[in-house]
A = this chain, B = another copy of it.
């Protein structure tokens, strides 16, 4: 199992710069006052495809040799990674195929197709999904880009906190959401090198607290179909992300569904930015653990802004 290094992050950044946004870092005097901390929001909701995952996907896609690229890329995902991979492949002019359960919302399929990707529908089970992907890869030679258990993806996600560090300097802590652990792993990889004193907190929905329990158990515990509004955070860690979480994360902080919704609403209302529920989990945990952060400089990773505007959780 290859664990990516900081050099991989630096190379990733050089590689993907033409294809991604250098996202802005926003501040809010309202949230500074409310939290008692100085917050720096790294806004990956403004990223290409509306999500940080464009970074990892572009790193994987643009790191392929021409020969490998000609065979296309493939993944299984019903979420943001699917769009991000389709975006990256579209920029390189190669084919992206995404295996999705036939129960996935039409909007998600349309988004992948909108970036030029192809959607293959399967029965909504892990076995069906993995089987179809395996068959596809065997048949076409497409490169499988896992949403997070992939060293190229982790190195790509690490470029977000690299930019944050370049723009804002040393931070006392960074708080990022955790699902499978791709963003947190990239954050650990970068910060443990450029700013090892910075604490890293993983923010997780209480309803999908597998990482919280894994850290306490000392091994990966998987959730069984967790129910949370933070739909990007339902998946479980894999060995590569567990490596970073178990070695570098200071602690895992939990937020209830209502706390996530409240933080999301308040962010839209006061910062005027559209963020998805997963992106509100860090702020929710900061507001309920003020004593951990008071008086400190805190980075907050806003991971994405892909949300159904017609179905908002406070309606």
- Flag the segment in A222-230, A242-250, A268-276, A286-294 that touches B: A268-276
Which chain B residue lies CB-closest to A50? B272
Contact of A272 among B305, B312, B314, B315 (CB under 8 A): B305
**Interchain CA distance A269-B305 in the complex, whole Å:** 8
For A281-310 the 0/1 string (1 means CB < 8 A from B) is: 000000000000000000000000100011
Contact A268 B312 (CB under 8 A): no
Task: Write the A6-42 contact mask toward B (1 if CB under 8 angstroms, else 0).
Answer: 0000000000000000001010000000000000000
Proximity string of chain A (41-58) to chain B, C-beta cutoff 8 Å, 1 when within and 0 when not = 000011000100000000
Contacts of A26 in B (CB 8 A): 46
B309/A272 in contact, CB under 8 A:
no
Whether A265 is near chain B, meaning CB under 8 Å from some CB there, is: yes
Interface size class of A (residues with CB under 8 A): 10 to 19
The smallest C-beta distance from A47 to any residue of chain B, in angstroms, reads 9
Contacts of A269 in B (CB 8 A): 274, 309
Expressed in whole angstroms, the Cα–Cα distance for A305 and B271 within the complex equals 9
> For the complex, what is the distance from the CA of A314 to the CA of B315, rounded to whole Å?
12
Nearest Cβ on chain B to A153's Cβ, whole angstroms: 22
Q: Cβ of A310: which chain B residues have Cβ within 8 Å of it?
A: 314-315
Q: What's the nearest-Cβ distance from chain B to residue A132, in Å?
A: 30
Nearest neighbor of A47 in chain B, beta-carbon distance: B272
Task: Indicate whether A45 sits within 8 Å of B272 (C-beta atoms), given known contacts A24-B24, A315-B315.
Answer: yes
Residues of chain B within 8 A of A312, CB atoms compared:
309, 312
Interface 1/0s, chain A 85-109, versus B by CB < 8 A? Answer: 0000000000000000000000000
- In the complex, 15 of the A-B residue pairs with CB atoms within 8 angstroms, ordered by the A residue number, are A24-B24, A45-B272, A46-B271, A46-B272, A268-B274, A269-B274, A269-B309, A272-B273, A272-B305, A273-B273, A273-B274, A309-B312, A309-B314, A310-B314, A310-B315
Add 13 more A-B contacts to A265-B309, A272-B305, A312-B312 (CB < 8 A).
A26-B46, A45-B272, A46-B271, A46-B272, A268-B274, A268-B309, A272-B273, A272-B274, A272-B275, A273-B273, A273-B274, A309-B314, A315-B315
Closest 7 CB pairs of A and B: A272-B305, A272-B274, A45-B272, A268-B274, A268-B309, A46-B272, A269-B309
